Amino acid sequence: MKINEIFYSLQGEGKYTGTAAVFLRLSGCNMKCWFCDTRHEEGTEMTEEEIVENVCQYPARHIVITGGEPTMQLNARLTELLHREGFYIQIETNGSIALKEGTEVDWITCSPKGNEIRIQRIDELKLLFLPEYIEKYKDMKAKEYCLQMLDEGKSFLPSPSIISYIKENPQWRLSLQTHKLIGIE
């Protein structure tokens, strides 16, 4: 598998905000979003066993597998090994690719970017606060619904319009990029 980076931090977005987690960023993505803030093209080849050995050095047993687009590489062998080591597996995906057969994850955060959804389920729907995304995905079934401001390098704080929208549509929660607010990775 091609790994962009592995690091230990706090989850900064969505339901698990503030949770200590190991982040496994896989290289590559099937979309070219103009607003992407992740350099996911580069990476180092690692086996599933090497990945697990690396992530086990951290005390937390919550892992966030992200990218790029993690479903391009994520497989049953890696999730099986991680579960054996006691990890709770969360993925952050655009939802455009279904999980490979046998790939078991505990929580799917789906943040679609205008694409069709092919992921098997959505636990947390996390949308950028863009009218076209809200219109397209507002009726998707999920356990949690989060809205997030588009980070254009101006401010990480919510606009009055997102606050008003959430007050009018209380099934949505505000998701701040707290990792950026507090200056951690």
Known catalytic membership, residue 33: yes
Among the listed residues 7, 33, 42, 53, the single catalytic one is 33
Among the listed residues 35, 38, 42, 44, the single catalytic one is 38
Among the listed residues 36, 42, 104, 185, the single catalytic one is 36
- Please name which of 90, 21, 23, 89 lies closest in space to residue 59, comparing C-alpha atoms: 21
Query: φ and ψ at 72, to 5 degrees?
Result: -70, -30
Known catalytic membership, residue 62: no
CA distance 179 to 127: 18
Known catalytic membership, residue 123: no
Among the listed residues 13, 87, 110, 179, the single catalytic one is 179
What spatial distance separates the first Cα and last Cα of the chain, rounded to whole Å?
22
Known catalytic membership, residue 146: no
**Angle value at C-alpha 12, between 135 and 84, nearest 5 degrees:** 105
Among the listed residues 23, 66, 124, 146, the single catalytic one is 23
Structure tokens at 129: 């606060």
- Please name which of 74, 64, 135 lies closest in space to residue 106, comparing C-alpha atoms: 64
Known catalytic membership, residue 36: yes
Among the listed residues 13, 92, 124, 144, the single catalytic one is 92
Among the listed residues 13, 29, 66, 144, the single catalytic one is 29
Among the listed residues 7, 37, 50, 185, the single catalytic one is 37
CA distance 163 to 151: 16
Catalytic residues: 23, 29, 33, 36-38, 92, 179
